[in-house]
Amino acid sequence: MVKVADIERALEPTWCPGCGNHMMWKALKEVIEESGMGFEDYAMVWGIGCHGNGADFYRSQGFHGLHGRALPVATGIALSNPSLKVIVSMGDGDGYGIGGNHFIHSVRRNIDMMAIYHNNQIYGLTTGQASPTSDQFMQTPSTPGGVVEEPVNPVGVAIAQGATFVARGFAGDVDHLKSLYRQALDHHGFSLVDVYQPCVTWNKINTFKWFRDRVYKLEELDGYDPSDRTMAFETSMSTFHELTCAPDECKVPIGVFYREEETFTYQDGLPQLDRPMWKHAEEPRDISEILETY
Protein backbone atom coordinates (compact mmCIF):
# COMPACT_ATOMS: atom_id res chain seq x y z
CA MET A 1 0.00 0.00 0.00
CA VAL A 2 1.34 3.41 -1.01
CA LYS A 3 2.05 5.97 1.69
CA VAL A 4 2.12 9.73 1.24
CA ALA A 5 5.87 9.73 1.79
CA ASP A 6 6.25 7.13 -0.96
CA ILE A 7 4.42 9.36 -3.44
CA GLU A 8 6.57 12.41 -2.78
CA ARG A 9 9.69 12.76 -4.86
CA ALA A 10 12.93 14.42 -3.82
CA LEU A 11 12.06 17.41 -6.00
CA GLU A 12 9.93 19.87 -4.06
CA PRO A 13 6.99 21.60 -5.81
CA THR A 14 7.91 24.86 -7.50
CA TRP A 15 4.41 26.30 -7.57
CA CYS A 16 4.03 29.88 -6.32
CA PRO A 17 3.71 30.23 -2.53
CA GLY A 18 0.01 30.08 -1.73
CA CYS A 19 -0.96 28.46 -5.04
CA GLY A 20 -4.00 26.21 -4.80
CA ASN A 21 -2.00 23.43 -6.43
CA HIS A 22 -0.28 22.79 -3.09
CA MET A 23 -3.60 21.97 -1.41
CA MET A 24 -4.74 19.79 -4.31
CA TRP A 25 -1.40 17.95 -4.19
CA LYS A 26 -1.85 17.31 -0.49
CA ALA A 27 -5.45 16.13 -0.87
CA LEU A 28 -4.72 13.70 -3.69
CA LYS A 29 -1.69 12.15 -2.02
CA GLU A 30 -3.66 11.50 1.15
CA VAL A 31 -6.60 10.01 -0.73
CA ILE A 32 -4.33 7.68 -2.68
CA GLU A 33 -2.86 6.48 0.61
CA GLU A 34 -6.33 6.03 2.15
CA SER A 35 -7.49 4.08 -0.91
CA GLY A 36 -5.07 1.29 -0.10
CA MET A 37 -3.79 1.18 -3.68
CA GLY A 38 -0.27 0.10 -4.54
CA PHE A 39 1.90 1.74 -7.19
CA GLU A 40 0.88 -1.02 -9.60
CA ASP A 41 -2.82 -0.24 -9.17
CA TYR A 42 -3.01 3.24 -10.68
CA ALA A 43 -1.50 5.50 -13.32
CA MET A 44 -1.48 9.28 -13.61
CA VAL A 45 -1.61 11.53 -16.66
CA TRP A 46 -0.93 15.27 -16.81
CA GLY A 47 -1.56 17.91 -19.43
CA ILE A 48 0.50 21.09 -19.87
CA GLY A 49 0.27 23.97 -17.42
CA CYS A 50 1.26 24.76 -13.85
CA HIS A 51 -0.66 21.67 -12.72
CA GLY A 52 1.37 19.60 -15.20
CA ASN A 53 4.51 20.23 -13.17
CA GLY A 54 2.96 17.72 -10.80
CA ALA A 55 4.48 15.08 -13.06
CA ASP A 56 7.76 15.97 -11.37
CA PHE A 57 6.37 15.88 -7.84
CA TYR A 58 4.37 12.62 -7.76
CA ARG A 59 6.17 9.31 -7.75
CA SER A 60 3.84 7.36 -10.01
CA GLN A 61 3.71 5.46 -13.24
CA GLY A 62 2.14 7.73 -15.80
CA PHE A 63 2.58 10.14 -18.67
CA HIS A 64 3.04 13.90 -19.06
CA GLY A 65 1.13 14.55 -22.26
CA LEU A 66 0.81 17.38 -24.75
CA HIS A 67 -1.24 20.51 -24.18
CA GLY A 68 -4.90 19.55 -24.17
CA ARG A 69 -4.23 15.89 -24.94
CA ALA A 70 -4.17 14.32 -21.50
CA LEU A 71 -7.54 12.58 -21.94
CA PRO A 72 -6.63 10.71 -25.16
CA VAL A 73 -3.48 9.42 -23.48
CA ALA A 74 -5.46 8.44 -20.40
CA THR A 75 -8.03 6.70 -22.60
CA GLY A 76 -5.30 4.61 -24.19
CA ILE A 77 -3.99 3.58 -20.80
CA ALA A 78 -7.47 2.79 -19.48
CA LEU A 79 -8.28 0.60 -22.46
CA SER A 80 -4.90 -1.09 -22.59
CA ASN A 81 -4.99 -2.07 -18.96
CA PRO A 82 -8.52 -1.86 -17.48
CA SER A 83 -7.26 -3.07 -14.14
CA LEU A 84 -5.53 0.29 -13.60
CA LYS A 85 -7.27 3.25 -11.97
CA VAL A 86 -6.39 6.19 -14.20
CA ILE A 87 -6.15 9.65 -12.63
CA VAL A 88 -5.94 12.58 -15.04
CA SER A 89 -4.83 16.07 -14.04
CA MET A 90 -5.62 19.05 -16.28
CA GLY A 91 -5.93 22.82 -16.18
CA ASP A 92 -8.87 24.92 -17.37
CA GLY A 93 -7.06 26.23 -20.44
CA ASP A 94 -5.52 22.84 -21.05
CA GLY A 95 -8.59 20.67 -20.54
CA TYR A 96 -11.56 22.93 -21.31
CA GLY A 97 -9.93 24.98 -24.08
CA ILE A 98 -7.44 23.09 -26.22
CA GLY A 99 -8.75 19.77 -24.91
CA GLY A 100 -12.41 20.77 -24.87
CA ASN A 101 -13.44 18.34 -27.55
CA HIS A 102 -11.74 15.47 -25.72
CA PHE A 103 -13.60 16.53 -22.57
CA ILE A 104 -17.02 16.25 -24.22
CA HIS A 105 -16.33 12.89 -25.82
CA SER A 106 -14.71 11.37 -22.74
CA VAL A 107 -17.83 12.31 -20.81
CA ARG A 108 -20.25 10.81 -23.31
CA ARG A 109 -18.21 7.62 -23.59
CA ASN A 110 -18.18 7.27 -19.81
CA ILE A 111 -14.64 5.96 -19.83
CA ASP A 112 -13.73 4.66 -16.40
CA MET A 113 -11.24 7.25 -15.10
CA MET A 114 -10.97 10.14 -12.65
CA ALA A 115 -10.49 13.58 -14.21
CA ILE A 116 -9.34 16.47 -12.02
CA TYR A 117 -9.43 19.99 -13.45
CA HIS A 118 -7.36 22.76 -11.84
CA ASN A 119 -9.69 25.65 -12.58
CA ASN A 120 -8.06 28.99 -11.75
CA GLN A 121 -9.86 30.85 -14.54
CA ILE A 122 -6.58 31.98 -16.11
CA TYR A 123 -3.58 30.71 -18.07
CA GLY A 124 -1.18 30.83 -15.12
CA LEU A 125 1.94 29.24 -16.61
CA THR A 126 2.02 31.63 -19.57
CA THR A 127 1.54 34.77 -17.45
CA GLY A 128 -2.13 35.38 -17.11
CA GLN A 129 -3.93 35.29 -20.43
CA ALA A 130 -7.70 34.75 -20.43
CA SER A 131 -8.76 31.10 -20.36
CA PRO A 132 -12.09 29.51 -21.36
CA THR A 133 -13.32 29.86 -17.77
CA SER A 134 -12.24 33.49 -17.24
CA ASP A 135 -15.19 35.59 -16.26
CA GLN A 136 -16.84 37.79 -18.87
CA PHE A 137 -15.41 41.34 -18.91
CA MET A 138 -12.34 40.23 -16.93
CA GLN A 139 -9.26 42.20 -17.91
CA THR A 140 -6.13 40.16 -18.58
CA PRO A 141 -2.89 40.73 -20.55
CA SER A 142 -4.57 39.14 -23.58
CA THR A 143 -7.89 40.94 -23.05
CA PRO A 144 -7.01 44.47 -21.85
CA GLY A 145 -10.50 45.62 -22.81
CA GLY A 146 -12.10 42.72 -20.96
CA VAL A 147 -13.14 39.22 -22.03
CA VAL A 148 -15.93 39.52 -24.57
CA GLU A 149 -17.47 36.07 -24.48
CA GLU A 150 -19.16 34.20 -21.64
CA PRO A 151 -17.10 31.49 -19.94
CA VAL A 152 -17.40 27.76 -20.38
CA ASN A 153 -19.55 26.13 -17.71
CA PRO A 154 -17.78 22.76 -17.28
CA VAL A 155 -20.20 21.41 -14.67
CA GLY A 156 -23.24 22.25 -16.78
CA VAL A 157 -21.65 20.90 -19.96
CA ALA A 158 -20.74 17.61 -18.28
CA ILE A 159 -24.20 17.11 -16.80
CA ALA A 160 -25.92 17.97 -20.07
CA GLN A 161 -23.65 15.59 -21.96
CA GLY A 162 -24.59 12.63 -19.75
CA ALA A 163 -21.79 12.54 -17.21
CA THR A 164 -22.26 9.98 -14.45
CA PHE A 165 -20.26 11.77 -11.73
CA VAL A 166 -19.82 15.53 -11.57
CA ALA A 167 -18.39 17.40 -8.60
CA ARG A 168 -16.85 20.76 -7.87
CA GLY A 169 -14.32 21.42 -5.12
CA PHE A 170 -12.40 24.34 -3.67
CA ALA A 171 -8.67 24.09 -3.00
CA GLY A 172 -9.11 26.14 0.17
CA ASP A 173 -11.12 23.35 1.82
CA VAL A 174 -8.84 20.31 1.74
CA ASP A 175 -11.02 18.02 3.86
CA HIS A 176 -14.03 18.59 1.63
CA LEU A 177 -11.89 18.20 -1.48
CA LYS A 178 -10.62 14.86 -0.17
CA SER A 179 -14.18 13.64 0.26
CA LEU A 180 -14.88 14.49 -3.39
CA TYR A 181 -11.70 12.76 -4.53
CA ARG A 182 -12.62 9.61 -2.60
CA GLN A 183 -16.06 9.45 -4.17
CA ALA A 184 -14.67 10.14 -7.64
CA LEU A 185 -12.00 7.47 -7.23
CA ASP A 186 -14.63 4.91 -6.19
CA HIS A 187 -16.96 5.77 -9.06
CA HIS A 188 -17.29 3.26 -11.89
CA GLY A 189 -17.22 5.48 -14.96
CA PHE A 190 -15.97 8.95 -15.89
CA SER A 191 -15.76 11.12 -12.79
CA LEU A 192 -15.20 14.86 -13.11
CA VAL A 193 -13.90 16.95 -10.22
CA ASP A 194 -13.68 20.60 -11.22
CA VAL A 195 -11.65 22.41 -8.56
CA TYR A 196 -11.59 26.15 -8.02
CA GLN A 197 -7.87 26.60 -7.48
CA PRO A 198 -7.05 30.31 -7.06
CA CYS A 199 -4.01 31.55 -8.97
CA VAL A 200 -2.45 33.93 -6.48
CA THR A 201 -0.15 35.50 -9.06
CA TRP A 202 -2.30 36.23 -12.10
CA ASN A 203 -5.95 36.21 -11.02
CA LYS A 204 -6.48 38.95 -8.46
CA ILE A 205 -10.27 38.72 -8.63
CA ASN A 206 -11.16 35.11 -7.82
CA THR A 207 -8.93 34.81 -4.75
CA PHE A 208 -9.12 32.44 -1.76
CA LYS A 209 -11.01 35.13 0.16
CA TRP A 210 -13.34 35.66 -2.77
CA PHE A 211 -14.31 31.99 -2.71
CA ARG A 212 -14.43 31.66 1.09
CA ASP A 213 -16.97 34.49 1.15
CA ARG A 214 -19.20 32.67 -1.34
CA VAL A 215 -18.85 28.88 -1.36
CA TYR A 216 -21.39 26.60 0.28
CA LYS A 217 -21.74 22.82 0.27
CA LEU A 218 -24.50 21.16 -1.72
CA GLU A 219 -24.77 18.34 0.81
CA GLU A 220 -25.86 20.94 3.38
CA LEU A 221 -28.58 22.29 1.11
CA ASP A 222 -32.07 21.14 2.12
CA GLY A 223 -33.69 19.01 -0.52
CA TYR A 224 -30.73 18.75 -2.85
CA ASP A 225 -30.73 15.36 -4.59
CA PRO A 226 -27.50 14.48 -6.49
CA SER A 227 -29.32 11.69 -8.34
CA ASP A 228 -31.63 14.25 -10.01
CA ARG A 229 -29.96 15.27 -13.28
CA THR A 230 -32.43 18.10 -13.94
CA MET A 231 -31.87 19.59 -10.52
CA ALA A 232 -28.10 19.28 -10.98
CA PHE A 233 -28.20 21.03 -14.36
CA GLU A 234 -30.45 23.83 -13.15
CA THR A 235 -28.17 24.37 -10.16
CA SER A 236 -25.10 24.54 -12.37
CA MET A 237 -26.75 27.11 -14.63
CA SER A 238 -28.29 29.27 -11.94
CA THR A 239 -25.06 29.70 -10.03
CA PHE A 240 -22.48 30.11 -12.76
CA HIS A 241 -22.71 33.42 -14.58
CA GLU A 242 -22.42 35.55 -11.49
CA LEU A 243 -18.76 35.19 -10.63
CA THR A 244 -18.21 38.94 -10.33
CA CYS A 245 -21.05 39.41 -7.90
CA ALA A 246 -20.79 40.60 -4.32
CA PRO A 247 -20.95 37.97 -1.52
CA ASP A 248 -24.47 38.98 -0.57
CA GLU A 249 -25.59 38.75 -4.20
CA CYS A 250 -24.57 35.22 -5.04
CA LYS A 251 -23.11 32.02 -3.69
CA VAL A 252 -20.98 29.32 -5.32
CA PRO A 253 -21.93 25.69 -4.63
CA ILE A 254 -19.31 22.98 -4.16
CA GLY A 255 -19.91 19.27 -3.69
CA VAL A 256 -21.35 16.45 -5.77
CA PHE A 257 -23.73 17.94 -8.35
CA TYR A 258 -24.68 14.63 -9.93
CA ARG A 259 -23.95 10.94 -9.39
CA GLU A 260 -25.36 7.95 -11.23
CA GLU A 261 -24.71 4.47 -9.89
CA GLU A 262 -24.38 1.19 -11.80
CA THR A 263 -23.37 2.90 -15.02
CA PHE A 264 -22.37 1.26 -18.30
CA THR A 265 -18.84 2.31 -19.17
CA TYR A 266 -16.98 2.33 -22.45
CA GLN A 267 -14.86 -0.55 -21.19
CA ASP A 268 -18.02 -2.56 -20.42
CA GLY A 269 -18.86 -2.42 -24.11
CA LEU A 270 -15.58 -3.99 -25.20
CA PRO A 271 -15.62 -7.74 -24.48
CA GLN A 272 -12.12 -8.06 -25.92
CA LEU A 273 -10.86 -6.32 -22.78
CA ASP A 274 -11.42 -9.61 -20.97
CA ARG A 275 -7.93 -10.15 -22.27
CA PRO A 276 -6.30 -6.76 -21.59
CA MET A 277 -4.64 -5.25 -24.62
CA TRP A 278 -1.28 -5.02 -22.93
CA LYS A 279 -1.18 -8.82 -22.77
CA HIS A 280 -1.14 -8.91 -26.55
CA ALA A 281 2.34 -7.48 -26.28
CA GLU A 282 3.54 -9.86 -23.60
CA GLU A 283 5.92 -11.58 -25.95
CA PRO A 284 8.44 -9.54 -27.99
CA ARG A 285 7.64 -9.74 -31.69
CA ASP A 286 10.18 -9.88 -34.49
CA ILE A 287 9.08 -7.32 -37.10
CA SER A 288 12.30 -7.37 -39.14
CA GLU A 289 10.57 -9.08 -42.07
CA ILE A 290 7.93 -6.40 -42.19
CA LEU A 291 10.56 -3.67 -42.11
CA GLU A 292 12.39 -5.31 -44.98
CA THR A 293 9.30 -4.81 -47.13
CA TYR A 294 9.66 -1.06 -46.78
> Which of these, 152, 154, 165, lies nearest to 192 by C-alpha position?
165
User: Strand, coil or helix: what is 158?
Assistant: helix
**pLDDT at 230 exceeding the cut of 80:** yes
**pLDDT at 242 exceeding the cut of 60:** no
- Mean pLDDT computed over every residue of the chain: 92
- pLDDT bracket for residue 51 (50, 70, 90): very high
**What CA–CA distances, in Å, run from 285 to 76, 80, 107, 193, 281?**
21, 18, 35, 40, 8
pLDDT above 90 covers what percent of the chain?
Answer: 80
Average pLDDT over residues 25-50: 96
User: Who has greater pLDDT, 84 or 284?
Assistant: 84
**pLDDT at 275 exceeding the cut of 80:** no
What was the pLDDT predicted at 241? 58
What was the pLDDT predicted at 287? 83
The top-scoring range by mean pLDDT among 6-15, 48-57, 186-195, 236-245 is 186-195
Average pLDDT over residues 235-253: 77
pLDDT above 70 covers what percent of the chain?
Answer: 96
What was the pLDDT predicted at 179? 98
**pLDDT at 279 exceeding the cut of 70:** no
**pLDDT at 283 exceeding the cut of 70:** no
Pairing type for strands 165-170 and 252-259 reads: antiparallel
> Which of these, 27, 1, 244, 287, lies nearest to 135 by C-alpha position?
244
Average pLDDT over residues 286-290: 85
What was the pLDDT predicted at 245? 75
What was the pLDDT predicted at 247? 78
Answer left, alpha or beta for residue 190, where phi above 0 means left and psi between -120 and 50 means alpha. Answer: beta
Q: How far is CA 283 from the centre of its chain?
A: 35
> Which of these, 181, 252, 254, lies nearest to 217 by C-alpha position?
254
pLDDT (tens digit, 9 = 90+) per residue, 257-270?
Answer: 999 999 999 999 98
pLDDT (tens digit, 9 = 90+) per residue, 134-181?
Answer: 988 899 999 999 999 999 999 999 999 999 999 999 999 999 999 999
User: Alpha helix (H) ranges present in 65-207?
Assistant: 70-80, 92, 100-109, 154-160, 174-186
Answer left, alpha or beta for residue 18, where phi above 0 means left and psi between -120 and 50 means alpha. Answer: left
- pLDDT bracket for residue 294 (50, 70, 90): confident
pLDDT (tens digit, 9 = 90+) per residue, 21-31?
Answer: 999 999 999 99
Between CA 103 and CA 219, with CA 134 as vertex, the angle to 5 degrees is: 70
